[in-house]
Amino acid sequence: MAAVLPHQHSAAGEITSGHKKVIFASSLGTVFEWYDFYLYGSLAAVIAKQFFSGLNPTSAFIFALLAFAAGFAVRPFGALVFGRLGDMVGRKHTFLITIVIMGLSTFLVGCLPSYNSIGVAAPIILIALRMLQGLALGGEYGGAATYVAEHAPDNKRGLYTSFIQTTATLGLFLSLLVILGCRLALGPEAFDAWGWRLPFLLSVVLLGMSVYIRLQLNESPLFKQMKEEGTHSKAPLTDSFGNWKNSKIVILALLGATAGQAVVWYAGQFYALFFLTQTLKVDATVANLLMSGALVIATPFFIIFGAMSDRIGRKPIILAGCLIAALTYFPLFGALTHYANPALEAAAKANPVVVVADPANCSFQFDPIGKKVFNKSCDIAKSALAKSGVSYRNEDAPAGTVASIKIGSATLASFDGTTMDAAGFKVAGDQFALDLKGALTTAGYPEKADTAQINKTMVLVILIILVIYVTMVYGPIAAWLVELFPTRIRYTSMSLPYHIGNGWFGGFLPTTAFALVAFSGDIYFGLWYPIVIAVATAIIGFLFLPETKHVDISK
């Protein structure tokens, strides 16, 4: 494909066959990368049994989730490593490297012997492979977005890059589809025993397709011109972050764009699904099918908002998405409860729950690395209620009082686990959970959502709205980030705020939200985390970040 400079595009900015090839190759490869990345999260429960079987089931699941989180944690470092490489060597070769690392790491997870076969080496290798996946993903997005943007006509950059923005959602959808297909074909027992490896092994086929397609592409025309002129950066990290003029924009891009975009993205797709299955106790298959339906219906809006941003700007669409989401999260999630589990809503009104505890005995249960043990009586009571999806209010008790739970007219005492060993704490905790379950059932709190009572149409409509918010903030973000930074350090500069925003601000949303719910007693209180960040992003972005749709990115 011949290299075409932006000023050579027609005024109408028609999409040529060459443009379509660039978009397709970049987007398809990125879909496969997200497919690889999300496979692990979707199969965390199965992986816990395979690689952490030396621990008890609860600890095994926690460590499996931590291994998943490791992939998010290292994404900014991947942005630095591969961003630097992309600005020095080129866009094309760098995102060829990232997709090979991602594909091979995923394939090797499917080949990795279990804990029962090689012992502690299994989880160590697994976490190492997850970190490689995170590093690769940290370099992939910036490369794909930059590559497409630098091929795009000036008046269609939002449209072109919006195709890249569909890839995370499509990758998640593809991973769910493949897992569901393998599970149905093999049956639950065979899938859990060995069939879970198939979706990982399939990635080698997707890898081959992606590499073949990307090898057909030429280097970005802007990078090629810059290389020929000798104006490319020799030290992208220094030029990006050692220069206050540019590093200031990096910080503002994080706080005024990607942080809010990230929490809206994770709230609308991941936290909504978590809320349905964990808080409202909706059957996982039903919840996944409803979310998949919402993703399919809403995904075209990535393209719609990307194209719209070429006309009215990136900034107003993204910041409006943050504000609208922040203003409507509480009523929308309240409506999810009403339509997905009306029995839970009715029980909360008829028999409200109160935790009576010494405030000094209550912790803020935020534990991003899973090492803390919350074993005080208040923490035990609140954590159990939060996991049960039950709202409660707090009532102060005298200092030193063992916490208790009032459910309607009944009272259930918690227990102090601070003096117990691990075995004793487990026995007491299991008995307390059993007693709490019985008390809640007596008071009318359902153990699970009744599938027959779920208004699936209304739940689907609410999920579609939440995903449309995602498309508003995410569709134009790549174009905005690309246009904020100069060509010579674009890959490095845009990748870091994107991956800190999405890997850290977004990735820690479920953990932070759960801690807020357990602390407050309100099942909706966790929404304050995305709301506060989204509002802060809207304010900072409005005050300090420019509109960029008319920027000449060839400079």
Give the pLDDT confidence score for residue 265 in this predicted structure: 92
- Of 166, 164, 163, the closest CA to residue 174 belongs to 166
Q: Is residue 210 part of a domain?
A: yes
Are residues 269 and 397 both part of a single domain? no
Are residues 484 and 394 both part of a single domain? no
Q: Is residue 447 part of a domain?
A: no
Give the pLDDT confidence score for residue 547 in this predicted structure: 96
Q: In what order do the strands lie in the sheet with 410-413?
A: 393-396, 353-357, 404-407, 410-413
Give the pLDDT confidence score for residue 4 in this predicted structure: 34
Classify strands 410-413 and 404-407 as parallel, antiparallel or unpaired.
antiparallel
User: pLDDT per position in the chain (555 positions), as tens?
Assistant: 333 333 344 334 455 555 567 777 667 767 776 787 677 767 766 887 788 766 655 555 556 666 766 777 888 888 888 878 877 776 777 878 888 888 898 899 899 998 888 887 888 888 888 888 888 877 777 777 877 888 788 888 999 889 888 887 888 788 888 888 888 899 888 988 899 999 999 888 888 887 887 787 666 666 666 666 655 566 777 877 888 888 999 999 999 999 999 999 989 988 898 899 888 999 878 888 898 899 889 999 999 999 999 999 999 999 999 999 999 999 999 999 999 999 999 999 999 999 999 998 888 776 555 556 788 999 899 888 887 888 899 999 999 899 999 998 889 999 998 888 878 888 888 899 899 999 999 999 998 999 999 999 999 999 999 999 999 999 999 999 999 988 788 878 888 898 888 888 887 787 788 778 878 889 999 999 999 999 999 999 999 999 999 988 876
Domain termination residue (choose one: 196, 212, 228): 228
Are residues 34 and 108 both part of a single domain? yes
Per-residue DSSP letters for 163-174?
A: HHHTHHHHHHHH
Are residues 374 and 460 both part of a single domain? no
| CATH, residue 416 | 3.40.30
Q: Is residue 7 part of a domain?
A: no
Are residues 152 and 204 both part of a single domain? yes
Name 398's bridge partners: none
Q: Is residue 531 part of a domain?
A: yes
DSSP 3-state helix, strand, coil percentages of the chain (rounded to 5)? Answer: 75, 5, 25
Q: Is 453 helix (H, G, I), strand (E, B) or coil?
A: helix
Give residue 323's Cα distance to chain centre.
20
Are residues 482 and 527 both part of a single domain? yes
- Of 311, 249, 309, 320, the closest CA to residue 484 belongs to 249
Are residues 191 and 296 both part of a single domain? no
Q: What is the chain's alpha carbon radius of gyration, rounded to the nearest angstrom?
A: 25
Q: Is residue 410 part of a domain?
A: yes
Give the pLDDT confidence score for residue 2 in this predicted structure: 30
Q: Is residue 419 part of a domain?
A: yes
Asked if residue 527 lies in contact with residue 329, where contact means CB atoms within 8 angstroms, the answer is yes
Q: Is residue 80 part of a domain?
A: yes
Domain termination residue (choose one: 174, 202, 228): 228
Could you give the number of structural domains in the chain?
3
Q: Which domain holds residue 205?
A: 17-228
Are residues 371 and 318 both part of a single domain? no
Helix/strand/coil (H/E/C) assignment for every residue in 61-111: HHHHHHHHHHHHHCHHHHHHHHHHHHHHCCHHHHHHHHHHHHHHHHHHHHH
In our burial notation (b when 16+ CB lie closer than 10 A, e otherwise), range 70-107 reads bbbbbbbbbbbbbbbbbbbbbbbebbbbbbebbbbbbb
Are residues 115 and 215 both part of a single domain? yes
Residues with Cβ < 8 Å from 318, sequence gap 6 or more? 257, 260, 261, 472, 473, 476, 477, 480, 541
| CATH, residue 84 | 1.20.1250.20
Are residues 388 and 242 both part of a single domain? no
Q: Which token pair is 254? A: 């994080």
Are residues 205 and 269 both part of a single domain? no
Q: Is residue 4 part of a domain?
A: no
Are residues 175 and 316 both part of a single domain? no
Domain termination residue (choose one: 442, 471, 490): 442
